Amino acid sequence: MAKKTEIEIKKNKQEKYGADEITVLEGLEPVRKRPGMYIGSTGVEGLQHLIWEIFDNSRDEAMGGFADHIEIALLPNNKVRIVDNGRGIPVDIHKKTKVSALETIMTTLHAGGKFEGKGYKVSGGLHGVGASVVNALSVRTKVEVHRDKKIFMQEYVRGKKRALVKQVGKTTFNGTIITFEPDPEIFKEIEYNWKSITNHMRQQAYLVKKLRIHIIDAREYINDIAYEKEVYIENLSLCAPNTTFYFEGGLRSLVEFYNSDFKQVHKNIFYIEKESNEVLVELALQYIDDISSRELAFANNTFNAEGGMHVTGFRTALTRRLNDYARKNNIIKEKDENFTADDVREGITVVISVKMREIQFEGQTKGKLGSVEARGAVEKIFGEAFAEFLEEHPDEARAILNKVSLALRARKAAKAAKDSVLRKGALEGLTLPGKLADCSSRSAEESELFIVEGDSAGGSSKQGRDRRTQAILPLKGKILNVERARLDRMLGSKEIRALVIALGTAIGDTFNIEKLRYHKVIIATDADVDGAHIATLLLTLFYRYFKPLIDGGYIYLAMPPLYKIKKGKESTYVYTEEEKIKYLGADAGDMIEEEPEDKDGEEGEQETKEEVGTKKTPKISLQRYKGLGEMNPEELWETTMDPKNRLLKQITIEDAQEADHTFDVLMGTDVPSRKAFIQTNAKLAKLDL
């Protein structure tokens, strides 16, 4: 007889998991009326939140020791299928609802095996809300349960069952298969982001040791016939792009992954996994040679983008333990001097994970942990273990304290520089930079700041602007790369200092978004390599020192036209090569030659003629704009500054960790990593030859 696996043994020993473990609170109707309350939005993030909700239920099976394999497959026609080899959702009749437990879970809000601690010891989902919310927001949902050697199935349309649960066959597999198709009435645009999904699942695989997560992108590789035959687990991956994540090192492996492109301050990664008062704390940290900090927090494997109580407990313990060690070893000598929380966090990469039975999040999307018990548990467990780590690893401790001491000295120097530059008068606009052509309006809501490249573009934009609402700040050359620059050096740059004063928010610990003088900050650079570099430097500055402006939706990129096309007496502006070809037609596009640049600043004209029978095509001339300075004020206003006609791209951050890592690689000092990034992504670049 074959030896039973650990999963099979746990399943045999599992406590009773049936309809009695499902608790019901209320109905389902509110979900379709106010979907944003349950998934955050009906955009791309909300769409993918449906995947997270179903995945979380399968992952909870793995966290309980009942599953070790989850598959996520993107299928044709916007379908998503998620498979786990867990216990299978119960299908027996629920005492209160008088229908099957499966139907209760899928059609009733706040029904699941996560209330009262009966079905799960630890759960990442919010009390079973996930499955019913996904069902309510899907045009069709199909659940197939493999349990007790039988296959049970039920289908739903917009959250309502089509028929009772029925047995449809026999099986040797054990687990649950859920397939759903998001409702286009709710989600106007249904387009999954493969990169975002893989990043999320990689993260989850680090958080659950020995869980294998298999992701398949079969949207263009199989048809509905294969789907109807229920090809899943290993079979589907034979015909579609797929990837698998599996890690045994837990959070230690995750810290290694995030720090792989950086110089480590100390080689040994601190790691602790321990339980206190029914709160399991797992934490790993390492310092790197950088001035930014990376803190990732999870509660029951759910990422908490806004942190919460566990992060507060960690920061308190970290600051206290490093100050205690520094004083004990005579590193801090002055009576009134201590490391601050910012000092000890500079250059740190830390992943904090807590698991607990009773958990409270702030908001359905679980962005912030509110459970007070988590703070005490993290503070106690981490504080004691980190103190031991420092004592037992003196070389590591010395390297960390040297790093923190450098941060303290830099903080003092930065404060002195900031105080000398950002005086009260400057913040109130009394000493605005001379190069700033400010607008007359004092309403930040209607005011716009155009950051333009060079004096030539600055002159044209100043003449072409709406003086009442549009301010112009020309920058001379490329600004300082702030990725590795501390605040004191950064404020020594005239260009950056002028921008900081113009914004009005101050910087660092005195930053105040309420004092922002413009609610649209628009980066307008030339459509060439230098322009792209300047835009990247500015975005690095905003991301590192003014991130709330990006989060608030205040930062934009101007999209000036690439071409002005004259067709007879008509003039049209186009913004991409594709638009040019579409406007002219593929054949005409091949024949056009660009206008030669006219040294006197007047438009030249290159005519292209084609004989069609006895008729001539209209005269066509094409002018390529290589810089904003080549446009006269009227053209610049009409194409780039007039709110009625212009195109702006709002800067957003879909994945903060990915954005942080990308800025580190592209703008940092690690040349091999930057070279590897460019080589890997070179095929995605659009060349302007």
The per-residue pLDDT for range 216-250, each reduced to its tens digit, is: 998 876 554 444 444 444 454 455 778 999 998 88
Is residue 26 packed enough to be buried (19+ CB in 10 Å), middle (13-18) or exposed (0-12)? exposed
Q: Are strands 212-217 and 242-245 parallel, antiparallel or unpaired?
A: antiparallel
Taking only the tens place, the pLDDT of each residue in 160-187 is 999 999 999 999 999 999 999 999 999 9
Residue 621 neighbours by CB under 8 Å, 6+ apart: 565, 566, 595, 603, 604, 605, 606, 607
- Residue in 278, 391, 528, 603 annotated catalytic: 528
Residue 463 tokens read as 């003449």
Mean pLDDT of the 17-21 span:
70
Q: Select the more confidently predicted residue: 669 or 225.
A: 669
Q: Select the more confidently predicted residue: 295 or 10.
A: 295
Of 240-254, 409-423, 494-508, least confident by mean pLDDT is: 409-423
Residue 213 has pLDDT above 90, yes or no: yes
Residue whose C-alpha is closest to residue 343's, from 317, 319, 316:
319
Taking only the tens place, the pLDDT of each residue in 443-478 is 999 999 999 988 888 888 999 999 999 999 998 878
Segment (H or E) for 539: helix 529-545
The pLDDT assigned to 627 comes to: 77
Give the phi and the psi of residue 288 in degrees, each rounded to 5.
-125, 165
Instruction: Specify the CATH superfamily of domain 7-245.
Output: Histidine kinase-like ATPase, C-terminal domain (3.30.565.10)
Residue 607: strand, helix, or coil: coil
Of 72-76, 143-147, 302-306, 505-509, least confident by mean pLDDT is: 505-509
Residue 292: strand, helix, or coil: coil
Calpha distance 68→63 (Å, rounded): 9
Exposure string for 351-390, b = 16+ CB within 10 A, e = fewer: bbbbbbeebbbeebbbbbbebebbbebbbbbbbebbbebb
Using a pLDDT cut of 70, give the percent of the chain over it.
78
- Residue in 346, 526, 630, 635 annotated catalytic: 526
Of 212-221, 334-343, 382-391, 675-684, least confident by mean pLDDT is: 675-684
Q: How far is CA 208 from CA 10, 25, 54, 123, in A?
A: 17, 30, 16, 12
Residue whose C-alpha is closest to residue 524's, from 647, 632, 410:
647
Taking only the tens place, the pLDDT of each residue in 478-495 is 888 877 777 777 877 889
Question: Hey, where are the domains in the chain?
Answer: 7-245, 251-418, 423-560+649-653, 663-689
Q: Select the more confidently predicted residue: 361 or 390.
A: 390
Taking only the tens place, the pLDDT of each residue in 43-100 is 888 999 999 999 999 998 998 889 999 999 999 899 999 999 999 999 998 888 889 9
Cβ 76 vs Cβ 65: under 8 Å: no
Mean pLDDT of the 418-432 span:
52
* Catalytic residue check, 84: no
Within 329-358, residue ranges assigned H as helices are 341-345
- Residue in 61, 144, 453, 495 annotated catalytic: 453
Taking only the tens place, the pLDDT of each residue in 140-155 is 999 999 999 999 999 9
Calpha distance 281→373 (Å, rounded): 11
Mean pLDDT of the 646-665 span:
70
Cβ 287 vs Cβ 407: under 8 Å: no
Mean pLDDT of the chain: 82
The pLDDT assigned to 662 comes to: 60
Calpha distance 531→220 (Å, rounded): 37
The pLDDT assigned to 280 comes to: 94
Calpha distance 606→596 (Å, rounded): 8
Taking only the tens place, the pLDDT of each residue in 101-128 is 999 999 987 665 554 445 555 555 443 4
Within 208-334, residue ranges assigned H as helices are 224-228, 251-258, 309-328
**Residues of the chain by 3-state class (helix, strand, coil), percent to 5:** 40, 20, 40
Residue whose C-alpha is closest to residue 359's, from 338, 374, 377:
374
* Catalytic residue check, 395: no
The pLDDT assigned to 121 comes to: 56
Residue 492 tokens read as 């020594």
Helices 494-503 and 394-421, axial angle in degrees (round to 10):
70
The pLDDT assigned to 458 comes to: 86
Tell me, which fold does domain 251-418 have in CATH? Ribosomal Protein S5; domain 2 (3.30.230)
Where does the pLDDT of residue 428 fall: very low under 50, low under 70, confident under 90, or very high at 90 and above? very low
Q: Select the more confidently predicted residue: 267 or 682.
A: 267
Where does the pLDDT of residue 601 fall: very low under 50, low under 70, confident under 90, or very high at 90 and above? very low
- Residue in 45, 155, 261, 530 annotated catalytic: 530
Where does the pLDDT of residue 598 fall: very low under 50, low under 70, confident under 90, or very high at 90 and above? very low
The pLDDT assigned to 653 comes to: 78
The pLDDT assigned to 47 comes to: 94
Where does the pLDDT of residue 586 fall: very low under 50, low under 70, confident under 90, or very high at 90 and above? low
Calpha distance 562→560 (Å, rounded): 7
Cβ 63 vs Cβ 73: under 8 Å: no
Other Cβ atoms closer than 10 A to 393: 16
Taking only the tens place, the pLDDT of each residue in 523-579 is 998 877 788 888 888 988 998 889 999 999 999 999 888 888 888 778 888 888 888
How many residues belong to the chain? 689
The region that residue 126 occupies, defined by phi over 0 for left and psi between -120 and 50 for alpha, beta otherwise, is beta
Give the phi and the psi of residue 453 in degrees, each rounded to 5.
-95, 110
Sign of CA dihedral 479, 483, 485, 486: positive
* Catalytic residue check, 68: no
Taking only the tens place, the pLDDT of each residue in 185-194 is 999 999 999 9
CATH dotted code for 423-560+649-653: 3.40.50.670
Give the phi and the psi of residue 179 in degrees, each rounded to 5.
-120, 130
Where does the pLDDT of residue 32 fall: very low under 50, low under 70, confident under 90, or very high at 90 and above? confident
DSSP secondary structure code for residue 93 in this structure: B
Residue with token string 């835009």: 535
Rg, C-alpha atoms of the chain: 30
The pLDDT assigned to 610 comes to: 38
